[in-house]
Amino acid sequence: MKHPKDLSILDYIYDLPEEKIARYPLAERDQSKLLVFRNQQIDSAVYSNLPSLIPSNSLLVFNNTKVVEARLYFKKETGTLIEIFCLEPDDRYADITTAMLQKQEVYWKCLIGGAKKWKEPFLSLSFLYKGLSVSLTAQKIEQVQDYYIIAFHWNNPDISFAEVLHAAGNLPLPPYMNRAAETTDHDRYQTVYAKYDGSVAAPTAGLHFTESLLSSLQAANINTTFVTLHVGAGTFKPVKAQLMQDHDMHAEFIDVSVETIEEIKKHLSDKIIAVGTTSLRTLESLYWLGVKIIHHPNINTAALLVEQWEPYEKDEQADPGVALDALLNWLKLNNTDRLITKTRIIIAPGYRFRIIHALITNFHQPQSTLLLLVAAITGSDWRTIYDYALDHQFRFLSYGDGCLLWC
């Protein structure tokens, strides 16, 4: 097996016709089609059938991040629009929640549409919050590679930056939808269990779940738990390097409670199913964090993260239960009931899964790291699966249908 660094992204291309891309969701979330792949066999179902497709006592793991209105539009006196796309907090903040709760001032990593036309020291816009007019200003601090550090200031000391974005921002639909966000997207581009502000894209596998489906899963003795991974703009970033060794995987914040880690450990001998690639990356990252602690018991918080190629280049391994125990003990010693860190893990063919047994996910773009992750589970059958979906009128990408893929 090749090291994933040596993989060519040109081997992960397929023809995705425009008409196969879902630009709007179905009227009923759980009526989306579901392709089921197990033991090299493919079947078709719908999401509402899930309770009959998953063994009793399995554990489904969801990502409860919430999409924020990350696009801010500032209008210059000339009428020119400058778009500021808020990617993630500046490094001065320990985590996204802390940054989102800042009042009156915050520093953010941003993309700027029309940056060359922004020559003024400040841009400003006004918006209403609970009937009161609020003024928001933006100031360019510095450019770092392909993004800018922006300082935002607002003149209401009672509201957080999360509330500023909710009131003044616009929902960041993926660019391949080729349309502006509409009123219905504010509900449909969020999962029904979204809880923590921080993502610039939805964990789309979860968009198919309804309260009714979650109740049906519970009635079938199928367990659920939640992790948080805040989805960054790297989700939209195509792989431009021919070889994966030249692709820089984006880092994303993860936040997992001790209670959830204990629940995962309890179900290691059952079936653990990640709902979405973000949940999967979080679960597998927990294993590697535990391994790191086993070999470096006194590791500090700043060093406890997962780098892009770590799983492929470390001989250090452990039983998954032992790794999770080490992580739990480290959290106890550090007097915290939550793990908050970053992961840059890339999961591609050649990866061996330690925690998960299956993945529920949508159909992904050609030449993407998400398609590599699918191929890590299914091997060369990924192409058969995608050909089947294209031939059987499955809908692709964020608002499209999905699949249940067993390792």
pLDDT exceeds 80 at position 237: no
| pLDDT-based confidence at residue 77 (cuts at 50, 70, 90) | confident
Rounded to the nearest 5°, which phi and psi values hold at 153?
-130, 140
Please indicate whether residue 180 or residue 263 has the higher confidence score (pLDDT).
263
In a domain, 148, yes or no: yes
Structural domains of the chain, count: 2
Q: How many residues does the chain have?
A: 407
Q: Whose CA is closest to 359, among 375, 372, 377, 371?
A: 377
CA–CA separation, 195 and 338 (whole Å) = 16
In a domain, 392, yes or no: yes
**Percent of the chain, pLDDT > 90?**
91
pTM: 0.95
Query: Are 356 and 275 part of one and the same domain?
Result: yes
Query: Are 38 and 130 part of one and the same domain?
Result: no
In a domain, 162, yes or no: yes
Query: Are 203 and 153 part of one and the same domain?
Result: no
Query: What CATH number does the domain containing 62 carry?
Result: 3.40.1780.10
In a domain, 330, yes or no: yes
The residues facing 137 across adjacent strands are 124, 153
CA–CA separation, 278 and 45 (whole Å) = 23
Residue-wise pLDDT for 162-171, tens only, equals: 999 999 999 9
The residues facing 153 across adjacent strands are 105, 137
Residue-wise pLDDT for 288-299, tens only, equals: 999 999 999 999
CA–CA separation, 222 and 54 (whole Å) = 8
Query: Are 76 and 55 part of one and the same domain?
Result: no
Query: Are 232 and 150 part of one and the same domain?
Result: no
Q: % helix / strand / coil in the chain, to the nearest 5? A: 35, 30, 40
In a domain, 264, yes or no: yes
Structure tokens at 92: 């001065």
In a domain, 182, yes or no: no
Query: Are 371 and 266 part of one and the same domain?
Result: yes
Question: Which pLDDT score is estimated for 314?
Answer: 77
Asked if 336 and 330 count as a contact pair (C-beta separation under 8 A), the reply is: no
Mean pLDDT calculated for residue range 306-315: 89
| pLDDT-based confidence at residue 235 (cuts at 50, 70, 90) | low
Mean pLDDT calculated for residue range 188-212: 97
Residue-wise pLDDT for 334-358, tens only, equals: 999 999 999 999 999 999 999 999 9
Rounded to the nearest 5°, which phi and psi values hold at 69?
-80, 80
pLDDT exceeds 90 at position 239: no
Query: Are 51 and 89 part of one and the same domain?
Result: no
Question: Which pLDDT score is estimated for 233?
Answer: 74
In a domain, 380, yes or no: yes
Query: Are 62 and 79 part of one and the same domain?
Result: no
Query: Are 96 and 210 part of one and the same domain?
Result: no
Rounded to the nearest 5°, which phi and psi values hold at 298?
-100, 20
Mean pLDDT calculated for residue range 180-195: 96
CA–CA separation, 25 and 211 (whole Å) = 17
Query: Are 122 and 256 part of one and the same domain?
Result: no
Structure tokens at 125: 């816009």
The structure tokens 């500090």 sit at 300
Residues spanned by the domain of 276: 4-66+188-406
Query: Are 53 and 100 part of one and the same domain?
Result: no
CA–CA separation, 112 and 86 (whole Å) = 9
Rounded to the nearest 5°, which phi and psi values hold at 369?
-65, -25
pLDDT exceeds 60 at position 1: no
Residue-wise pLDDT for 50-60, tens only, equals: 999 999 999 99
**Percent of the chain, pLDDT > 70?**
99
Residue-wise pLDDT for 93-122, tens only, equals: 999 999 999 999 999 999 999 999 999 999
Question: Which pLDDT score is estimated for 35?
Answer: 98
Question: Which pLDDT score is estimated for 236?
Answer: 57
The structure tokens 């070999």 sit at 295
Asked if 184 and 21 count as a contact pair (C-beta separation under 8 A), the reply is: no
Query: Are 43 and 77 part of one and the same domain?
Result: no
Rounded to the nearest 5°, which phi and psi values hold at 227?
-120, 170
| pLDDT-based confidence at residue 399 (cuts at 50, 70, 90) | very high
Q: Domain ends where: 140, 170, 200?
A: 170
Question: Which pLDDT score is estimated for 298?
Answer: 94
| pLDDT-based confidence at residue 146 (cuts at 50, 70, 90) | confident
Residue-wise pLDDT for 25-38, tens only, equals: 999 999 999 999 99
Q: Domain ends where: 170, 197, 231?
A: 170
pLDDT averaged over every residue in the chain: 95
Residue-wise pLDDT for 242-301, tens only, equals: 899 998 888 899 999 999 999 999 999 999 999 999 999 999 999 999 999 999 999 999
In a domain, 202, yes or no: yes
